[in-house]
């Protein structure tokens, strides 16, 4: 945050605007938390925990929807959707369904919704076993 959103003065020394007195400490704290969650999400991905990485990216987006963070979250959603399809191909419909639920808990991604409904329809019609 470089400028005061009230009077557009430059914010250089801290959370208080020198011109109008607006206090941005909560905004800056939320921004710092978003960066921490984003960072943690990247680390978890690197350590092989994509589901938790996605959950943290989703939390971070609720604090501030930075473009790079949105790209990261959408990449994780895409990855998890591919995982769900792979599970479905292997006959692991319940795990695929759970993965779709986890994606939808983070973001209402249309493809996750369609895939979950597809799995629901197949399992209801007993085309796929519930395993
Ligand atoms: Zn100001």
Query: Mean pLDDT for each consecutive 10-residue tract of the chain (131 residues)?
Result: 91 90 95 97 98 97 96 96 94 93 93 91 72 53
CATH code assigned at 85:
1.25.40
CA 130 to chain centre: 28
Residue 130: the pLDDT is 54
CA of 22 to the centre of ligand 1 (A): 6
Q: Is residue 24 part of a domain?
A: no
CA of 41 to the centre of ligand 1 (A): 33
Q: Extract the tokens encoding 14.
A: 């801290």
Q: Is residue 4 part of a domain?
A: no
Q: Is residue 23 part of a domain?
A: no
CA of 67 to the centre of ligand 1 (A): 25
The number of C-alpha atoms within 13 Å of 37 and in the hemisphere containing its C-beta is: 24
Number of domains composing the chain: 1
The whole domain housing 95 covers 37-124
Q: Is residue 3 part of a domain?
A: no
């Amino acid at each position: 945050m470089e400028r005061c959103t009230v009077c557009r003065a430059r914010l250089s020394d801290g959370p208080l605007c020198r011109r109008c007195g607006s206090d941005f400490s909560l905004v800056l704290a939320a921004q710092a938390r978003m960066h921490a969650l984003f960072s943690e999400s990247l680390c978890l991905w690197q350590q092989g925990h994509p589901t938790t990485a996605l959950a943290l990216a989703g939390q971070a987006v609720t604090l501030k929807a930075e473009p790079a963070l949105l790209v990261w979250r959408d990449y994780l959603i895409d990855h998890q959707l591919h995982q769900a399809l792979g599970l479905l191909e292997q006959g692991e419909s319940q795990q695929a369904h759970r993965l779709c639920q986890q994606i939808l808990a983070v973001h209402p991604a249309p493809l996750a919704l369609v895939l979950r409904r597809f799995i629901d329809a197949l399992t209801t019609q007993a085309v796929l076993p519930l395993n």
